[in-house]
Copies of this chain bind each other. A is one copy, B any other.
Amino acid sequence: MSQKNFSRKNSLLKEIDFYLVTDSRLSKKGTLSDVKEAVESGCKIVQYREKDKSTKVMIEEASEIKKICSGKAIFLVNDRIDIALAVDADGVHIGQDDMPLETARRLLGEDKIIGLSVHDREEAILAEKAGADYVGLGPIFDTATKKDAGEGIGLLKLREVKAAIRIPVVAIGGINRGNCESVVQNGADSLVAISAVVCSDDVKKETEYFIDTIRRIKRQISDNL
């Protein structure tokens, strides 16, 4: 990887606060509308997560999302390296049941962003060592959205993970207006709140709320340092 692109990838990731993950099953207005509204509200990272559609439709949607994000937000594809390659996304987000990180890195190259889902400190340390550009840590709280996700790990574990690695920590799982401040106070660099946003009647307003809150807490933290 060129030093230039390494820097670019990392400075882009330093800028993220609210992190949008699409969910066509939960969405009120549809994935493309959700992405458009979130990016218009200043969301700087979008992950296209789709499990039920054909590869053809996923490539069409990913291609539209790429246009919406272009120059404004990082655009990642969940799991499907083929979709990411087909539309030349900025990278992928993979889980522990997806392609191994080493294989994904080989196919995507050093300049693409790869985020990895982790559930504890050990997995987070391994992810950083293996070359992940950020980790998605969760579920922080119990969640109804992803029933197979297990019980929430809590804010203490979030602090532990944040203390153990240098790459950004994106918190996910059961996060809403009520608890998002505590998530940032306990070390999250960014957070996902799927149902709070895509189930809302006003994706723009919700996205703005989360962005404002995350930035406010981050300012408080840096003022206290």
Contacts and interface: CB of A to CB of B under 8 A. Distances in A.
Contact of A81 (B82, B98, B103): B82
Nearest to A84: B82
A163 interface: no
Contacts of A100: 56, 59
Copies in the complex: 2
Most central of A54, A56, A59, A100 by chain B CB within 10 Å: A56
A55 interface: yes
Contact of A85 (B55, B81, B94, B96): B81
A103 B59 contact: yes
13 contacts: A54-B98, A55-B94, A56-B96, A56-B97, A56-B100, A59-B103, A81-B86, A82-B82, A82-B85, A82-B107, A85-B85, A85-B107, A86-B99
A94 B59 CA distance: 14
Given A86-B99, A99-B86, A79 B55 contact: yes
Interface size class of A (residues with CB under 8 A): 10 to 19
A179 to B, nearest CB: 30
A80 interface: yes
A81 B58 CA distance: 13
Contacts of A94: 55
Nearest to A53: B97
A57 interface: yes
A55 B97 CA distance: 6
Closest 3 CB pairs of A and B: A82-B82, A54-B97, A81-B82
A80 B94 CA distance: 16
Interface string A103-139: 1000100000000000000000000000000000000
B57 A99 contact: no
A42 to B, nearest CB: 32
A157 B59 CA distance: 31
A103 B60 CA distance: 12
B99 A82 contact: yes
Contacts of A59: 99-100, 103
Nearest to A87: B103
